[in-house]
Copies of this chain bind each other. A is one copy, B any other.
Amino acid sequence: MKIAVSQLNYHTGNFAENITKIKHSITKAKKENSDLIVFAEMAICGYPPRDFLQYNDFVEKCQHSILEIAAECKDIAVIIGSPSFNKTKKGKKLYNSAFFIENGKIKAIVNKTLLPTYDIFDEYRYFEPNDVFNIIEYKGEKIALTICEDLWNVDKHPLYKVTPMDELVKLSPTLLINIAASPYNYEQNKIRKEILCNNAKEYKLPLVYVNHVGAQSELIFDGGSMVIDNKGNIINELKYFEEDFLIIDTAKPAIDVNKKKYSQIESIHNALVLGIKDYFGKLGFNKAILGLSGGIDSAVTIVLAVKALGKENVLPVLLPSRYSSDHSVNDAVKLAENLGCKYEVINIEEAFNGFENTLKPLFADRPTDLTEENIQARVRAVILMALTNKFGYILLNTSNKSEAAVGYGTLYGDMCGGISVIGDLYKTQVYELARLINKEKHIIPKNTIIKPPSAELRPEQKDSDSLPEYEILDKNLYQYIEMSKSPDDIIAMGFDKEIVYKSCRLVNISEYKRHQSPPILRVSPKAFGMGRRMPIVGKYLL
Question: Which residues of A pack against B, CB within 8 Å?
Answer: 11-14, 17, 46, 48-52, 54-58, 89-93, 117-118, 122, 124-125, 156-161, 215-217, 278-279, 282-283, 344, 346-348, 350-355, 357-359, 362-363, 366, 369-371, 374-375, 378-379, 381-383, 385-387, 389-390, 411-412, 416, 418, 484, 486-489, 512, 515-519, 530, 532-541
Contacts and interface: CB of A to CB of B under 8 A. Distances in A.
Contacts of A518: 515-516
Contact of A369 (B51, B363, B390): B390
A52 B512 contact: no
Contacts of A357: 350
Contacts of A50: 533-535, 538
Contact of A539 (B158, B282, B488): B282
A389 B533 CA distance: 26
A287 to B, nearest CB: 14
Contacts of A124: 117, 124
Contacts of A515: 518-519
Nearest to A118: B125
Given A48-B535, A125-B533, A358-B383, 11 more contacts: A13-B535, A14-B540, A118-B125, A122-B533, A215-B537, A217-B536, A350-B354, A359-B386, A359-B387, A374-B386, A412-B416
A245 B172 CA distance: 62
Contacts of A12: 535, 537-540
A29 B23 CA distance: 70
B416 A534 contact: no
10 contacts: A12-B535, A12-B537, A12-B540, A57-B486, A90-B158, A217-B537, A283-B512, A355-B383, A375-B382, A375-B386
Contact of A14 (B14, B386, B534, B539): B539
A418 B279 CA distance: 28
Contact of A536 (B348, B350, B354, B519): B519
A512 B215 CA distance: 16
A92 B475 CA distance: 28
Contacts of A378: 378, 381-382, 385, 412
Contacts of A486: 55-58
B348 A358 contact: yes
Given A350-B354, A484-B56, A90 B362 contact: no
Contact of A382 (B48, B158, B346, B382): B382
A418 B512 CA distance: 7
Contacts of A355: 351, 354, 382-383, 386
Nearest to A86: B157
Contacts of A278: 537
A512 to B, nearest CB: 6
B347 A358 contact: yes
Given A52-B540, A351-B355, A358-B350, A374 B385 contact: yes
Contacts of A389: 369-371, 374
A540 B541 CA distance: 41
A412 B383 contact: no
Contacts of A536: 217, 283, 519
Given A371-B389, A385-B412, A283 B159 contact: no
A268 B7 CA distance: 50
**Which A-B residue pairs are the 6 nearest by beta carbons?**
A354-B354, A13-B540, A57-B486, A14-B539, A351-B354, A371-B389
A93 B155 CA distance: 12
Nearest to A540: B13
A51 B527 CA distance: 13
Contacts of A362: 344, 346, 387, 390
A227 to B, nearest CB: 30
Nearest to A359: B386
A43 to B, nearest CB: 15
A502 to B, nearest CB: 17
Q: Which of A11, A355, A366, A519 has the most CB of B within 10 A?
A: A355
